[in-house]
């Protein structure tokens, strides 16, 4: 057995032995709906999934058998399981299995409460309003640039002005895209293998920050970005853009894209303004203040659903 150097290492060894004996084989797609990848590291990746029969959202850690020894997988899983009783350590569902190509175990989705997200959003909106009032655009609003000075978001600061520019500055092109870039900014993106951009130069406007701000709110509520890039080739973005064109007419809950169905109708109204693909319909960042007294996440049996920061980059 592996010596762990823990006071209760013998218990971990017993857990590993019992888990190895009961480790079942199943294919991921048979039991889980894969929503998207939310993290990747040297030894594997993390998938956002929902249980096919119960609908429970969870983070599924997937480790390739080709580069992972069974003992290494068992060690990580059993240590995680043993320590998960602590309130500050991510919890596990007690689900571990192997497929033809992977070892897998399921983690709970935990994160910032909605009330804290709202406090964060109001403060970042205030910072952006101040920036815009001085004729500047931040241009780099993203989770990495939001600093939390306490665990409950009572004090939040916006950082990094390396990309800030005067309003009205013309951009001829940018290199590549990121999830928080507005669709109009993506039109001047120089993609891999592309030598020039054929679209006209883009004027730097506060609406670029509004879009990024909307994406950040989604990100810190869910723990992942809603799309990879705001282009027609991205199915997740296209689903949302299509929904926005329907938004003026009555729609049912089933019309809302799957990634957005956890949000209330009031939250979706807010997102439709912050993330309006049509620039003429996009609101200012301050509009979020009108929604802080409303629920953003749907209640499940009267309980606020848990969120995740599995792939979040907010720094403390």
Of residues 132, 168, 289, 285, the one with CA closest to residue 216: 285
DSSP string covering 82-124, please? HHTTSTTS--EEEEEEE-SSEEEEEE------HHHHHHHHHHH
In a 3-state reduction of DSSP, which class is residue 263? strand
In a 3-state reduction of DSSP, which class is residue 37? strand
Phi, psi of 269 (to 5 degrees): -65, -45
Q: Is 140 a catalytic residue?
A: yes
Question: Could you give the C-alpha distances from 103 to 3, 26, 27, 34, 191, in angstroms and in order?
Answer: 22, 10, 10, 16, 35
> From the annotation, which residues make up the binding site for ATP?
61
What's the angle, vertex CA 32, arms to CA 30 and CA 33, rounded to 5?
110
Two structure tokens written together for 208: 């670029």
Of residues 65, 95, 66, 70, the one with CA closest to residue 80: 95
Phi, psi of 165 (to 5 degrees): -140, 165
Residue 201 DSSP class: P
In this structure, the number of other CB atoms found within 10 A of the CB of residue 37 comes to: 13
Q: How far apart are CA 109 and CA 129, in angstroms?
A: 32
Q: Which of 140, 150, 160, 235 is catalytic?
A: 140
Two structure tokens written together for 66: 């080709």
Q: Which active-site residues does the annotation give?
A: 140
């Amino acid at each position: 057995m592996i010596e762990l150097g823990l006071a209760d290492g013998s218990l971990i060894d017993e857990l590993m032995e019992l888990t190895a004996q009961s480790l079942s084989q199943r294919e991921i797609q048979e039991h889980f709906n894969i929503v998207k990848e939310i993290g990747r590291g040297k030894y594997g990746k993390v998938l956002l999934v929902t249980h096919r029969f119960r609908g429970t959202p969870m983070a599924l850690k997937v480790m390739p058998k080709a580069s992972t020894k069974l003992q290494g997988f068992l060690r990580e899983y059993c240590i995680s399981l043993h320590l998960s009783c602590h309130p500050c350590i991510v919890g596990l569902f007690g689900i571990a299995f192997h497929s033809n190509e992977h070892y897998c175990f399921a983690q709970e989705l935990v994160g910032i409460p909605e009330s804290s997200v709202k406090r964060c959003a109001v403060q970042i909106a205030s910072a952006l309003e101040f920036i815009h009032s001085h004729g500047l655009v931040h241009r780099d609003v993203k989770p990495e640039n939001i600093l939390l000075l306490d665990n409950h978001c009572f004090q939040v600061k916006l950082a990094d002005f390396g990309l800030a520019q005067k309003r009205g500055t013309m951009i001829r092109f940018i290199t590549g895209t990121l999830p928080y870039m507005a669709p109009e900014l993506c039109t001047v993106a120089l993609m891999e293998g592309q030598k020039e951009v054929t679209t006209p130069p883009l004027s730097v406007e506060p609406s670029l920050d509004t879009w990024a701000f909307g994406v950040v709110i989604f990100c810190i509520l869910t723990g992942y970005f809603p799309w990879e890039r705001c282009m027609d080739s991205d199915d997740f973005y296209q689903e949302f853009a299509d929904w926005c064109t329907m938004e003026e007419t009555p729609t049912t809950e089933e019309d809302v894209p799957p990634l957005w169905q956890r949000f209330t109708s009031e939250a979706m109204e807010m997102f439709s303004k912050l993330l309006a693909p049509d620039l003429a319909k996009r609101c200012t960042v301050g509009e979020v203040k009108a929604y802080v007294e409303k629920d953003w996440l749907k209640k499940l049996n009267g309980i606020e659903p848990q969120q995740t920061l599995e792939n979040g980059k907010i720094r403390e």
